[in-house]
Structure 1
Amino acid sequence: MQQLKVVLDRIPAGLDLRLAAYAEMSRGAYSPNTLRAIRSDTSIFATWCAETGHAYGPPASPETVAAFVDAMGEIKKPATVARYIASIDHLHRALDLPVPGASNAVKLALRRLRRAKGTRQDQAKALRWPTIQKALDLMGDDLIDLRDAALLCLAYDTFARASELVAVNVGDVQQDVDGATCFIAKSKTDQEGEGDYRFIAASTYTRIMAWVETAHLDKADPLFIPLGFAAKNDRIGTRDVSEIFRRRCGDRFSAHSTRVGAAQDAKAAGASTGAIQQAGGWKSERMVSRYTEKLAARESAAAMLAQVQGR
């Protein structure tokens, strides 16, 4: 299994067998995205060691990893560097070796980086309903318009991530006496696949059914399929979601924009943080608060005071 291999065959003799055994034991325990990140991050570390003359190991010394943090901190964001260290630690745990990220040297290097650069990450531009409605008004009833309209509306209603949207099958969208729902089988915060149901507005369900019927899709089919003779896959990818959102709504938006926009619209409509958290499948209130902080500022005591004073 190649996902946990690092570049240049830099695993010392003897440890390669231990890594192979771990790879076999962990088969199916991690998502493909997690495995790709581990492979990429450890490769970056291995390449940096080769270029700078540091001993890669493993085990990698805390001093080497701390120097890596300092070097990467000049060109990468703190969150990215922290992910690199988590991947390096994962590799060491796979080999039953002490993790360098637990050392004071590495912890202090990360702390220096966070203090120097701050921890705030860029946020996707919010794609709120008025912008989506303008895009819908420009769409017709040809195949690509029906698909893109259904995708935009489902993304907004379900607060879904791009990875969740592309995994939806036709049969996951259902309507009963209580209304329409979409079953999200697995998400970033639900790696074991317990799944959950998300609300769908009646108009969204109508758009989805118009797309399904026109495209002649069956229940077992992917809901969002690529169109055109050049299509190679049976369902669109996460990059396709971003491309569709940009093409329909503007270059400022990405696949995550409907998630942010729906959270802000829900906050503006009076929904509680807990209700928004449930709607979007967040495990904590932190990201909901982050997405809606500008709206919260407008409802703060300072905003109330300015209104009372007529300022």
Structure 2
Amino acid sequence: MNRPVSVSSDRIEKLLVRCAGAYSQNTLRGYRNDLLQFQKWCAANENEWFPAEPATIAAYVDDEVETKAIATIKHRLDALRFAHVMADLPCPTDHSEVRLAVRRARRKKSVRQKQALGLTSDILGKMLDACPDTLLGRRDAALLCVGYDTLCRSSELALLTVEHVSSCRSSVLVPRSKSDPHGEGRIAYLSKETTAHLEHWLAQAKIEEGPLFCGLHTGKISERALTTPSIRRIVKRAGVRAGLNDVEVKSLSGHSMRIGAAQDMMVVGIDTLGIMQAGGWKSKNVLARYVENAASSRLHQRRWQRLLEMSKSRLPMPHSC
């Protein structure tokens, strides 16, 4: 077999530029990083990296599983598949040699991912109580409430503008999401409390158009929308202010509002279809992963309560005098 021709990273960059507009910036940024990591590994091991041979990718998987999570490896294989497909080249990740390497990796390491801590209504209440009565506190409170009510991902919150909010501030159009790449959008509704927090933020910040949530620097409003990393930092900072312990704060993420809201909806008895529609989920399996902790807890609580009721019913009747 002829060795593949070495290709500089410029070709990958051209592929990504060509895909701009067809894919989100976050997706392309992730592909760029994953391809760069694969390129570095190939350079260190004196392998050609693009086009990639199945044997090279299989060796890469065998090596990476020692230090990387299965999800990380999967992301990098997705990036390699993407690059080859966009270059109209045969996809090496479909080769049996790569499939076997992935199976070895899955058997060697658990595929279960750590889930972010769900920002449920109880935790949200503590965070809101701890928000300072300042411009920053107003923004953080509005962001947390809107994120919880809309079940938005951090990337979706970053896309929201004032124009996406209804005139009465009771609903929001989520224009695009990971599961809605073509921008059909979904309507999410806001509680009266969330509407009040949002109105306070917009009024104090004097924002009438543009990004709904923007950065603050030395007390001044930025014209740029918050990024997903900055939203994650805001959530963690709110957790610190609310007195959460170090483990809990570390477990918070930009997805915590989405996870917590889904868990709360499940606990109060909203059916799966309703939760999927509220959060824009397309897969029941993904939703099940989000709410499994709350679901399991609820089932055990019901079991313990039922057993307690049964044990009480079996108590001997007191003897009459």
- The TM-score bracket by the shorter chain reads 0.7 to 0.9
Matched AA of 1:221: G
- Report the CA distance between 1:129 and its aligned residue: 1.0
CA distance in 1, matches of 2:204, 2:94: 56
Matched AA of 2:210: D
Matched AA of 1:44: Q
Matched AA of 1:267: M
CA distance in 1, matches of 2:8, 2:224: 41
Q: Helix, strand or coil for the counterpart of 2:166? A: strand
- Report the CA distance between 1:82 and its aligned residue: 1.1
Decide whether the 8 Å contact of 2:116 with 2:253 is kept in 1: yes
- Report the CA distance between 1:287 and its aligned residue: 2.0
**Counterpart selection for 1:188 from 175, 178, 185:** 178
Identify the residue that residue 319 of structure 2 maps to in structure 1.
none
CA distance in 1, matches of 2:165, 2:176: 15
TM-score normalised per structure 2: 0.84
Matched AA of 1:50: A
Distance 1:174 1:90, change over 3 A: same
**Counterpart selection for 1:98 from 81, 90, 98:** 90
**Counterpart selection for 1:227 from 203, 216, 221:** 216
Matched AA of 2:230: D
**Counterpart selection for 2:41 from 38, 48, 52:** 48
- Report the CA distance between 1:274 and its aligned residue: 1.3
Q: Map 1:1-311; keep pairs closer than 5 Å.
A: 10-11=6-7, 16=11, 20=14, 26-56=19-49, 58-175=50-167, 180-218=170-208, 220-229=209-218, 234-250=224-240, 251-252=249-250, 253-300=252-299, 306-310=304-308
Distance 1:169 1:305, change over 3 A: closer
CA distance in 2, matches of 1:211, 1:48: 47
Distance 1:118 1:309, change over 3 A: same
The unaligned stretches of length 5 or more in structure 1 are 1-8
Matched AA of 2:289: R
Cα offsets for 1:35-88 (capped at 9, x unmatched): 1122111111111111012232x3211111100011111111111101111111
Distance 1:240 1:270, change over 3 A: same
Decide whether the 8 Å contact of 1:19 with 1:95 is kept in 2: no
Greater Cα radius of gyration, structure 1 or 2: 2
- Report the CA distance between 1:190 and its aligned residue: 0.9
Q: Helix, strand or coil for the counterpart of 1:187? A: coil
Decide whether the 8 Å contact of 1:127 with 1:257 is kept in 2: yes
Identify the residue that residue 246 of structure 2 maps to in structure 1.
none
- Report the CA distance between 1:246 and its aligned residue: 1.3
CA distance in 2, matches of 1:163, 1:149: 18
Q: Helix, strand or coil for the counterpart of 1:83? A: helix
The aligned length equals 295
TM-score normalised per structure 1: 0.87
CA distance in 1, matches of 2:227, 2:207: 18
- Report the CA distance between 1:275 and its aligned residue: 1.0
Cα offsets for 1:87-109 (capped at 9, x unmatched): 11211112222111110000010
Moved over 6 A (4+): none
User: What is the percentage of aligned positions where both structures have the same residue?
Assistant: 36
Decide whether the 8 Å contact of 1:132 with 1:249 is kept in 2: no
Distance 1:130 1:63, change over 3 A: same
- Report the CA distance between 1:205 and its aligned residue: 0.7
Give the alignment's Cα RMSD to 1 decimal. 2.5
Decide whether the 8 Å contact of 2:216 with 2:222 is kept in 1: no
Distance 1:202 1:10, change over 3 A: farther
- Report the CA distance between 1:140 and its aligned residue: 4.4
Identify the residue that residue 6 of structure 1 maps to in structure 2.
none
Decide whether the 8 Å contact of 1:124 with 1:254 is kept in 2: yes
Decide whether the 8 Å contact of 1:169 with 1:222 is kept in 2: yes
